[in-house]
Structure 1
Amino acid sequence: MESQLRPVYGFLLSLLTAFLWGVLPVALTLCLKVMDSPTITFYRFLTAGLVVFFILKIRRSLPVAASLTRNGWLLAALATVMLVTNYVTNVMGLNYLSASSAQVLMQIAPFVLMTGGVLLYKESFTKVQFAGAGLLILGLGLFFNQRLPQIFASETESIAGLFIIAGSAVAWAIYALAQKPLLRTLSARQLTLIMYAAGGMLLIPLSTPTELMSMDGLQMAALVFCCLNTLVAYGAFTEAMRVWYASKVSAVLAVQPVFTFISMTLAEKIMPDTFHQPELDSVAYGGALLVVTGSMMAALGKKKPVKVLSGSLSGKS
């Protein structure tokens, strides 16, 4: 049965996801002082997976193997691998690029997702949405007008980071597109549990859990925030994909760099020795306004519902 579309609910969930992902680099920067990327990701998956497991256990709605056919499980495996890849490389990229620099390239992700939603799920844009997408692209260019030249000229930022973050962005878009059909036969929590559990097992040989012992109080608090962020943000994102269009969700997620800029600026004022936020001019601030405006236009433009068939993924008749 086709999921009922709930535009306002989907928009709010998407905006919450954008905010949580936007402020996440602050906590990740603190964690990276003593813990590597795979280990941080392992703890995030472990914590979120346990919480979701107990919620589903109490509600007697744990996923069963019969929920999906072989093709469905292959799609779930693809989504899991891409999600793990995104998590690890996104954190790893912060070792080579500033948070703002990383956000320049991470904007590849929502546009790949937006394009995939149109090509794979037959979602089409109205004229208002096309105009919004145009403003969004223009705004991103203005908002980060100083950053790309600085990346290539900087002694502390590396070209390797550009490739790492670009790969992370593409992996995230593939994950998002792969998981959408699965939400026709699994609940958002059931799907996230599968990916957290499988992803956690993939990360075991790559992580060093004992690094937890080297953390001080602030770094431990940052790790806890990262874990809670994983649970809430990806839960909200998965639910948003279930009740709204992939293209519209991606449009709202484009405001994420604005939240990153604000949070990193505040962090720099509090801990200037740990955080550094590049200065932006008035043109960049104007770009931020265009990003928000364009995102809202692309997200809220009316569009006719399109059915997505998923019978080949379901193990139930």
Structure 2
Amino acid sequence: MYQSNWRVGLPLALTTAFLWALLPIAMKGLISDMDSTTVTWFRFFGAALFAGAWYASRRDLQLGALLRGKLLPYTVLAVGGLLGNYISYATGLNYITPGALQVLIQLAPLLLLIFSVIFLGERFSASQWMGVGLVCIGLPLFFNLRIQELVEGEDREYLVGVGLVVIAAVTWAIYGLFQKKIVAQSRPQNLLILIYISGTLCFLPVSQPSSALQLDALGWGLLIFLTANTLIAYGAFAKAMGAWEASRVSATLALVPLMTLGLSAIIGSLWPQYIEVEPLNWISWVGAITVVLGSLLAAIGRGR
């Protein structure tokens, strides 16, 4: 069944990967004109508006069950985790390049696997442990040109960015851990809509939506893209998982960091004033590929 649907699953998985690869590049271009909190608020608001309207029209939402009984603490932790992930991810981009962010955020699925072993009693296969080891080897290789200044604290802003992205990885893993518990008793869209609504309400008091009025045409294009990105990417991802083997979808999505690095290099060479490109040597590329391979092994090791 899965092989017969690869013509559907592969394009959908590639669509998701491409959109996720472009996400930090587009956001980096916008946060120079709009603060990261406001950008994050618009992403939640757009997702809440359109996804909420869609599921409500189909009468396919049951949010009440998430807010009572034993699901309530899981819901609070899952919502808090993803909100923390969004804001730390966006704020980290103020200090770090999109390519470095995408490589470093690969810690998120690894942390989810480790949390699942500790708190859910799941087991690692040998290939999954090998994947964790490859990520641990690949990260210092990728950052080899910055290790000295990071260790000596010469570039404090970049170090802050690295710290924020690590926080984004940890909070995403917290979300993923409790999302696993919730979806066993509730449909995934219920949690996502609740997260979109919560993000809209939580970030509104500290955001400035009126700043969008001062954006130029490029800024509006980036804002619309970022607002739509979550809905389109996750929609394509869900359909890809339904049409293709999960291991093959994961293998395709593991290419996201390399795609971001490549797109950043192309955009940086054609439009150097738009984004800062991460300085890379051949060791950095070996490190990035090692991280990708490790993340892939850790994600699909058990299934294989």
TM-score by length of structure 2 reads 0.82
Structure 1 equivalent of residue 271 of structure 2 = 271
After superposition, residues 1-317 of structure 1 pair within 5 angstroms as: 19-66=18-65, 69-103=68-102, 105-151=104-150, 157-234=157-234, 255-303=255-303
Letter in 2 for 1:293: L
What are the Cα deviations for residues 20-74 of structure 1, in whole angstroms up to 9, with x where unaligned?
Answer: 3332111111211211111111110011111211221232212241466333122
Q: Distance in 1 between matches of 2:146 and 2:168?
A: 19
Q: Distance in 2 between matches of 1:80 and 1:243?
A: 28
2:131/2:294 contact within 8 Å kept = yes
| Residues paired across the two proteins, number | 297
Identity of aligned residues (%): 36
* 1:141 partner SS: helix
TM-align CA RMSD: 3.5
How far is the alpha carbon of 1:257 from its aligned partner?
A: 2.6
1:110/1:251 contact within 8 Å kept = no
How far is the alpha carbon of 1:264 from its aligned partner?
A: 1.2
How far is the alpha carbon of 1:153 from its aligned partner?
A: 6.7
Q: Residues 64 and 106 (structure 1 numbering): CA distance in 2 closer, same or farther, change over 3 Å?
A: closer
Unaligned runs of 5+ in 2: 1-5
How far is the alpha carbon of 1:102 from its aligned partner?
A: 3.3
Letter in 1 for 2:25: V
How far is the alpha carbon of 1:231 from its aligned partner?
A: 1.8
How far is the alpha carbon of 1:129 from its aligned partner?
A: 2.7
Residues 101-110 or 75-84, more deviating = 101-110
Unaligned runs of 5+ in 1: 1-7, 305-317
What are the Cα deviations for residues 112-149 of structure 1, in whole angstroms up to 9, with x where unaligned?
Answer: 11201222233222223333333343333323322333
TM-score by length of structure 1 reads 0.79
1:83/1:175 contact within 8 Å kept = yes
1:135/1:290 contact within 8 Å kept = yes
